[in-house]
Structure 1
Amino acid sequence: MEIKTFGELIDWTRDLHQHLARCLGHCATLHEEERARALLDYLASHEAELAQIVTEFENQGDAKAMDTRVYDYLSHNPVKTHRTCEKPYEKLDFECICHEVFDFHDQIIDLYKTLIGIAVIPEAKELLESLLTMEKNESMRLAHQIGRMEDL
């Protein structure tokens, strides 16, 4: 997907979270380890929730910010994830699944930080700062919940 505006960036981010949710959910049904299945189920529901939250940003976002052009940052620094989901999480253990998902979120956080630095209009910068805050908070919540799962 070629991303030209901040609105398209939000669509793309939502799609990434939705895709990850579907992939994790699918792999949860196939994983042999019960603990990993529980983690994948939780992560799938969390990613689906994040996709909904990102959709709200789009619905409530400032029109001027949404139509602002995003320069070709993404074509040079794409977010790396299992976009095709050929059952990779099915083969990973609990710790590796956590590592992969947190790496995905870290890449999104880094993307937002970089785009904040190059945002030209205040509305776009504010939108990105809100998305960054949400992504950081959700990553912390995720870490807390996974930490609780590890204690079991």
Structure 2
Amino acid sequence: MEVKTIFDLIEWSRSLHAQLAQCLSHCAKIHPHERAVMLLEYLASAETAMANMVADFEHQADPKVARTYVYDHMPHEPVKTHLECDDHYAQLDADAISGEVFDFHEQIIDLYRTLLGKAELPEVEELMQMLLDMELNETKLLVHQVGRMDDL
């Protein structure tokens, strides 16, 4: 998807979270190790919830702000991660799975920070800050919950 406006950015981000959720869920059904299956199922549900949270921004954003162009500030490949839904995560252990998912979130956080730093209008800055805060808070929660799974 080509990201030209903030609305495109929100849709793209929602789509990435939904796609990751679908892939993690798919791999949970075929992974041979119970610990990894539990992790994949938890991460899939968390990604689905995040996709829904991002979708809420589509409905809440002021249409004028949502139509603001961001393509001049978007990196060529904003997120470098495994985006094809094959059996990739079914071949990884739990630590590698969580590492890749956390890296995915860090890349989105870095992108939001970059775009926030380049925001020229207060309304755009506010929306980018809200997206960044949501991603940061949900990623912290995800890291904490995955860490608790390791304690079990």
TM-score (structure 2 length as normaliser): 0.96
Map 1:3-152; keep pairs closer than 5 Å: 3-152=3-152
3-state SS of 1:4 partner: coil
Q: Which runs of 5+ in 2 are unaligned?
A: none
Q: Which runs of 5+ in 1 are unaligned?
A: none
Shift of 1:65: 1.2
Shift of 1:75: 4.7
TM-score (structure 1 length as normaliser): 0.96
- Matched AA of 2:50: L
Assess if the C-alpha contact under 8 Å between 1:17 and 1:50 holds in 2. Answer: yes
Percent identical across equivalent pairs? 55
Taking only aligned residues, the RMSD between alpha carbons, in angstroms, comes to: 1.0
Assess if the C-alpha contact under 8 Å between 1:28 and 1:90 holds in 2. Answer: yes
Shift of 1:74: 3.2
3-state SS of 1:80 partner: coil
Is 120-129 or 43-52 further displaced after alignment? 120-129
CA distance in 1, matches of 2:41, 2:131: 24
1:47-106 per-position Cα deviation (integer Å, ceiling 9, x unaligned): 000000001111111212100001244352420122112211000001000100000000
3-state SS of 2:74 partner: helix
CA distance in 2, matches of 1:118, 1:17: 24
CA distance in 1, matches of 2:70, 2:55: 19
